[in-house]
Structure 1
């Protein structure tokens, strides 16, 4: 039997499998198919301070080996989330990673402050800081594309969160040097990193000769982006191993639909794994991937997940 327990920056998880933010709403829908309490953690849809209606329709478009989404962080806002969603997740025994977002650095802090004060905060295993969204105070630049903006958000959020609650900075792959951004987040107080968010893309309807999405651009997810995710995890893990930045857990996400996909990210340096787009056609995917991963680890002769984290760096041929 393989011991699937992992340590997420001091927060113990029963196994490394999570949902990915935005792909399973806030739990009730997915709970009809699997027991969300069996996951290492359930990751909520990114929540902002106030209700958000999202972008216009159409919001989704299929692509080869993936999809584009242009939802726009639609959600009820932090007050409704704390009244209805977090208590429900706690009631079913789920460990929760709450994804927070904001249009300004101060909004991130406001959301974190409200979350920490909630009665059900003891169900929160970590806070995922989704800095891969636009900074309206800086001409719409995505926070995670700029080390200074990333550092500011994590600094303000860290001041609102009690010691012992891990902060995970969710990074965008649409940058020249993801190692620089990761380092800025860790120096600001992040305890771990989630990599990667979707890649920005556009799809054109060649029958009507116009963009598929009302919002023009969308986030590309699915198996097509997995090599990008593996590259990002590899680069940041290598920088940690070389001493160029503090060592911290990495949550790998991007195109995972099988246990082999999960193992690839773990071997590159990820401690835990999120499953997102795969749940659209297989709601059981997160638990199926967990079981497939356990079988693969057992087949390789490993007793724990920790033995495999970053192992590929030790097996590079020269």
Structure 2
């Protein structure tokens, strides 16, 4: 709890400096966007993405079967969006590489995992959260605040494609992952598989970086390495984003912070303060990613 408290203090302090305009609410129903910096999607494209992102029509008998179905749907969504150069497909592409290329092979083989059933439930939950966000975006329904930020950034053609992609990954990691950990019942005593999966995704990043560059001409490599490995922290000291020591405290281990936040969410007594910490962590990371993008033309 002491460690979790330090993480909460650090991330909330960072967010206050880095993201003063943060608000945790979703927009009201709005017209459906037909494009995000690419060519417009037609009504058939929108209908296809809407149908594929409807998690209410999944038919898998267990978590792994449903995850297979969700992963295939996400791939098909990415194909529709990529065909139009629509930048809302940036995260879909990255998630496809991570899920099909790393996570599903590990779950199917065991790969030294201790509870692949629980792991499948964890991965399924965060993939379903992403599909729900896509479904809301393509039906005009209110989108979860972290994903609303991603879709808005992807549609802002003045923003870097690499930054837009990492806004999506930050929504996924800083917000969705802790909630999925809590949903799957993963805590300190059974977290080894979680760290193994996250480490594999982080380390096996070359295909993800190469594919994003090839498809969208967006080089996520520098921001990805910063996000997972802390590279580049020294370069932003003194840039109005807080002290190096504070940033290191907040970002030394995203996966560790997420586990602490997942544990906090699972406890009704700490759920509210943990949600505050999650929002703050998201804001801290977003601010640093934006600063690195601006400083180094990423």
TM exceeds 0.5? Answer: no
Bigger helix share: 2
TM-score (norm 1): 0.28
**Greater RCO (CA < 8 Å, at least 6 residues apart):** 2
TM-score relative to the length of structure 2? 0.30
